[in-house]
Amino acid sequence: MILTELHLHHFRNYQDLTVHFNPGVNVLIGPNAQGKTNMLEAIYVLSLTKSHRTSNDHELINWQEKSALISGTVEKSIGKIPLELQFSSKGKKAKVNHLEQARLSQYVGQLNAILFAPEDLSLVKGSPALRRHFMDREFSQMSSKYLYNAGQYRTLLRQKNKYLKQLKYKQQTDRVLLGVLSDQLAAFGAEVIIARQHFLKHLEGWAADLHQEISLNKESLRLEYVNQLKVNDDTTVEEAYQKLFKLYQDNEQREIEQGTTIYGPHRDDIRFLVNNKNVQAFGSQGQQRTTALSVKLAEIDLMKEQTGEYPLLLLDDVLSELDTIRQTHLLTAIQNKVQTFLTTTSLSDVARQLINEPTIFEIEHGTLNKEEVK
């Protein structure tokens, strides 16, 4: 898929801008705090309906205005699709082909984008919460079913935790409702767990080949899905449900005493093994970065495999964090494959040599060079 056109109205530091993009590599270049990352953020928001930088949609609106709009045209194998997102104090509205969508979940998946920022290099050594967020963010784009189940699980988890606290402090006494919430939570949790197992297995296949290539055949990479049910490729959703619900039943009193749900996919993690050693605990910084790079690049092929379309790739000042070898592998891997948006303060000699015919947009104070703006 290709984003051919983007229009921003009162978004961040952009007042009113329409820009047409190259189907290859688009370089957004300029000093810091001029609007490069804001434009990348706009593309990300157009894809997922939410920002990777803030959970407060109001921050996306220019501080002098009351509403903002992002719209764009996506070119896919089935044709061109106009997309639009409006933000105001009343919330946000999403349109596909000029038709408003009743739920945002009906919108997500129209435009798929993979973001690779410096903080993603912490995917390996960062917290388990970071890796859970990674799974939810990426897998939700590949499967509307996953997006729905993960959303339902989060909603029920909040409800159950609230009720557990009420039971803990004797504000409620009825455990029948707790059993109902646990049953429903186990049902959606099982769907999430089995889907994660499936997607991670496929992701491992793509990432292992890339990691071997980047390490010059010196290292092998494996991904292990760490979960309390110890599921494997043969575990069914029904089996996962039975296991999770039994954990809830057997540990009901313990959860009441702690006032929180202690089992489920909200406690899951990913373990990265390089040459059968836990790279999170024992790997060098170079190994951790190679692992993160392999996994992020593998997402491109996984998304193509699952959706039939290559996603957009958003590189937010990530080249400055990679050495020459990893820069080379990154830029070689994406060449003539995916539409790429790259922010940087300056293009290194390595990047200039490896990027074929990039379109360069010079950004300053929320404006672009005249040649690229229509």
Bind-site residues: 30-37
Contact 13, 38 (CB under 8 A): yes
Retrieve residue 317's tokens: 């000042």
What ranges make up the beta strands (E) of the chain? 2-11, 14-20, 25-29, 67-76, 79-88, 91-96, 99-100, 113-116, 221-226, 269-274, 277-278, 312-316, 340-344, 359-364, 367-368
Instruction: Give the C-alpha separation, 150 to 350, whole Å.
Output: 41
Q: Which amino acid is at 225?
A: Y
Residue with tokens 């300029």: 30
- Beta strands 91-96; 99-100: pairing state: antiparallel
Q: How far is CA 280 from the centre of its chain?
A: 21
Instruction: Give the C-alpha separation, 26 to 162, whole Å.
Output: 47
191-to-113, 139, 158, 209 alpha-carbon distances in Å? 24, 13, 18, 28
Q: How many residues does the chain have?
A: 374
Known binding-site residues for ATP equal: 30-37
Retrieve residue 223's tokens: 């991904």
Which one, of 319, 329, 337, 353, lies nearest residue 29 by Cα? 319
